[in-house]
Structure 1
Amino acid sequence: MTENKQIIQLCVLISGMTFTISAFVGTVDLQSSIHISHNLGTISLSITYGCSFLLSLFVLPVFLFNLGAKWTLILGEIGFMIFTLANFYSGLATMVPGSILGSMGESFFWAAGVYYVNHLFHEYQDSKPEDQKPQDNVKNVWFGRFYGVVGSCTIWGNLLAYAVLYGAQNFEAKSIHNNTTMAEYDYHTCGSNFCTVTKTNGNYAYVPKSKTSVYILLGVYSALQLFAIILHVVYLPALNKKQDEDFRVLSVGATKETLLSLARYLRSTKQILLAPMSFYYGFLMSYSFSDFTRGFVSCTMGVQQVGLVMAVSGCFSVLGAFMSTKASQKLGLSIVICITVIFDLTNYFIQMLFQPTSNSRYWVYGIAAILGTSVTMALYFPVDTELAFGTITLWQVFAMTIGFILSGRICLSIRIYLLIGNLVLVCIGYAIVEQRRRSTKLKEESEPLIEANGLGNG
């Protein structure tokens, strides 16, 4: 039982995190469709990610040091729950404070969760005899399972949204929205032609059949998040930070040094060249959460289909994660990135050419599948050090903030052009970095041979 203690704690941690993030992802995917007035949904998301950017820089290390990983994680879960509750009454007075407090989730939740998994692995490692200690590849398995299970939240949260919103329409009274059939919709305003919801020519696809179905869904999401908080409070033990050497680097003084190191690292040539790659991932994520769900899904099939379409995207995201991992081991990271570029460009050209009709609108599922694969493989861009990972995360959060600010303010076709332009910069930057890496490696391999030949001639 003692040997399996860390495994049980890992299961408790992952289960609670999956419930929490499933509810959050389901809520996020619907923001641009159910809060369309004055772009309230995308404004709230830009506030959430913008504030989380600042909290990650200045507040997260202090909280981890003083509260520990467990309570920092729980505080993040409370932030997610507050964001969900704010959606019960959508307005600036509720959504803005809810988004600010919800940023604690994005800032604290993931960092504390990853830290806790790392701590549990080292405890598990220390509990084993010297001849049975797990190797580094076992640690990768731990983190692979962690990200795999928690990453599946895209599927569960969106399937739940589909079940509630689509199922509830069979039990609701008819209204003017129910009497509007999809055949009456002007599909020319959907897809890449989508500009603003004020130009949808009477399309009611964005409006759920009644507020009741939305309240039911938000109630279920809130219950899941509350259950996760109770589960972690009761069954997840707090880490003993006095015995944990890693907490030494999380002092307030270290925060200042980390920021200075981060600033110096951002000025390096390699980071400047890879910055478009990091920015692209965040910009793509904000697009899939907002413009895609609103312009392609809600506009063509109704808001009740958002959950199912994004669940399909999530399934292919999990499949893409497995395939890209295997491919990078056998073919190399450069080949995987080339495949990613091809997938993304194909996806964007299909979206630009796609003209939805009453018969072709279900092709949106195929576009979502490609989008899910593209988003997943963007995760496998190269990361060299923890500091590099920190800069990549900062660029991604910054890009998501910019993306949500632009959502609803520029036409969808322009957003796609911006993604294509960003992808071109990614290719140029990565090609230069890869060429430099290979030149350096070739030089390092040739130096011993030159020295050996020199000694031989002597």
Structure 2
Amino acid sequence: MDSREEEAPLVSSPDLESQSQLVRRSHTSDVHILSCSFLLIFLAYGAAQNLESTVLTVQNLGTTSLGILYVSFTFFSLAASPMVRSLGSKNAMILGSTGYWLFIAANLFPSWYTMVPAALYMGFAASIIWVGQGTYLTSTARSHAEDCKVHEGTVIGKFNGEFWGMFASHQFVGNLFSLFLLGDEELKHVTCHVHFEIIGGYSNPDGCGLVVRAMTGLCGLGAQLRKRDVKEEQEPKYVSFYSSVVSLSKLVTAPLLDTRMLLIIPLIAYSGLQQAFVWAEYTKHIVRPAIGESGVGGAMAVYGAFDAVCSLAAGRLTSGLPSITLIVSGGALIQTIVLLWILLKYSMVSGVLGVVYPLVMAAMLGMGDAVFNTQLNALLGLLFRDDTEGAFAQLKVWQSATIAVVFFVGPFVSLQAMVLVMIGVLVISMAAFLFLMLHSEKAFSPRTP
């Protein structure tokens, strides 16, 4: 009898090990599919956005559409939390991805009647796809940590590192293509001519390719990802309009009543500010004067490459709040060096250094962006277990708001003024962040299964 009892675990052990491996693979495969789907969608969207900003210059249709998009993104993000909670994170991402291929399609036939409605709808779509993404990835990490009996913070960091590393690679691929495509003025002229033909609808193989990539990403989200939202209670059949408004108001304002969120919001706002600075100011005031229009693609390819690699590295190094504190501090220091360099020391020089300096800045800015993307998402996932959707909604509200401000205000302020504002926001945001980490580490430390 005793021998049989000792042998029983040996018989079931392979089955248990096999089941554990299947569970581990199911979680990691969901992260792979999610990352690849977003890569495909944003490879298509990034190309369309570049087309819009470089070609749709008549009556500023392109830049106006982008401004409308980010304003819409900001306002819809306020209500994204209950929407994602109602739809489920997977369904929210599927619905949200439709806004991207609709926006791409609108670029093929641009006018005020197509671009403005598409930009408005995409603001809504972007709000729910990103809140859904943050919620889904965090839920997957928590399930993986629980099933595999590993530290939750480590898994959240690793999964965010993979996602943001894959996502950032779309900048490298897209901008590297732009570098070769816009290598000289003659080729640039031909490219713009082809773009106009594509927009006019006479010949649009490139446009069809963009739509196909976006739809491929959509299919990846819809067909492969597993649902992870479990509703514990039955929804009431009838809810009055007043009750619905009150419930929505509570969901929107609840995160703002949390001291932790109030202390993180300045850093979230800076993360959006530094992204918009790279897109709008760095390329215009640093790259173009130094290495020309054709060099923008190369500089942004360097930015994307360092963003992708450092996202993977930062995710691997994340294990909890102490590691997040150190990594964020390092990223903030790197970007501070770049900002002070631009403000105090930088001036165009001839020769090799004239090309090297902007590329070094691009690399350092990409490193900082990688840190803020991975660590802010990991931080929200660790601190806001009870309202994950609300936390990620606030992330997108403040990021998109600061991006919209830069798009609208940037043309009217100098580079030095913009850099001074960024330094001020960074100092305030890091002071608030460090206060939260130093005084709340024990109270908010993630639980180890």
In 1, distance between residues paired with 2:89 and 2:430? 38
1:223 aligned onto 2:212: yes
Q: Which moved more, 1:89-98 or 1:46-55?
A: 89-98
In 2, distance between residues paired with 1:8 and 1:430? 33
- Identify the residue that residue 401 of structure 1 maps to in structure 2: 404
Partner of residue 112 from structure 1, selected from 125, 128, 132:
132
TM-superposed CA distance for 1:106, in Å, is: 1.5
- Identify the residue that residue 196 of structure 1 maps to in structure 2: none
User: What residue ranges of structure 2 are gaps of 5+ in the alignment?
Assistant: 1-17, 199-204, 444-449
User: How many aligned residue pairs are there?
Assistant: 398
TM-superposed CA distance for 1:375, in Å, is: 1.6
In 2, distance between residues paired with 1:65 and 1:273? 28
In 1, distance between residues paired with 2:333 and 2:143? 43
- 1:81–1:141 CA distance, 2 compared to 1 (3 A): same
- Identify the residue that residue 366 of structure 2 maps to in structure 1: 372
Equivalent residue runs for 1:30-429 within 5 Å: 32-35=53-56, 40-58=61-79, 61-62=82-83, 65-66=86-87, 68-117=88-137, 133-137=147-151, 141=155, 144-145=158-159, 147-149=161-163, 151-163=165-177, 166-167=180-181, 177-178=185-186, 210-212=192-194, 215=198, 218-233=207-222, 235-236=223-224, 239=227, 244-245=231-232, 256-257=246-247, 259-260=249-250, 262-263=252-253, 265-267=255-257, 270-325=260-315, 332-352=323-343, 353-357=345-349, 359=351, 360-379=354-373, 380-381=375-376, 382-383=379-380, 384-385=383-384, 386=388, 387-429=390-432
In 1, distance between residues paired with 2:26 and 2:438? 47
8 Å CA contact retained: 1:29, 1:306: no
TM-superposed CA distance for 1:224, in Å, is: 1.0
- 1:147–1:25 CA distance, 2 compared to 1 (3 A): farther
TM-superposed CA distance for 1:91, in Å, is: 4.7
**SS of the residue aligned with 1:245?**
coil
Spell out, residue by residue over 1:3-49, the C-alpha distance to the aligned partner (whole angstroms, 9 max, x if none).
Answer: 46666555444332220123224444676555556654443233222
8 Å CA contact retained: 2:256, 2:262: yes
TM-superposed CA distance for 1:357, in Å, is: 4.9
Aligned AA for 2:215?
L
Aligned AA for 2:365?
L
RMSD: 4.1
In 2, distance between residues paired with 1:288 and 1:102? 22
- Identify the residue that residue 190 of structure 1 maps to in structure 2: none
In 2, distance between residues paired with 1:151 and 1:122? 20
- 1:98–1:361 CA distance, 2 compared to 1 (3 A): farther
Q: Which moved more, 1:137-146 or 1:98-107?
A: 137-146
In 2, distance between residues paired with 1:142 and 1:97? 36
In 2, distance between residues paired with 1:298 and 1:372? 18
Aligned AA for 2:360?
G
**SS of the residue aligned with 2:403?**
helix
In 2, distance between residues paired with 1:297 and 1:361? 9
TM-superposed CA distance for 1:146, in Å, is: 5.8
In 1, distance between residues paired with 2:255 and 2:225? 36
Amino-acid identity (%): 17
TM-superposed CA distance for 1:416, in Å, is: 1.5
Superposition TM-score, scaled by structure 1 size? 0.70
Spell out, residue by residue over 1:135-172, the C-alpha distance to the aligned partner (whole angstroms, 9 max, x if none).
Answer: 253795377346524542332344234325624768xx
Aligned AA for 1:342?
L
Spell out, residue by residue over 1:284-335, the C-alpha distance to the aligned partner (whole angstroms, 9 max, x if none).
Answer: 1122222223333345444444333222212222333344456665974444
- 1:274–1:409 CA distance, 2 compared to 1 (3 A): same
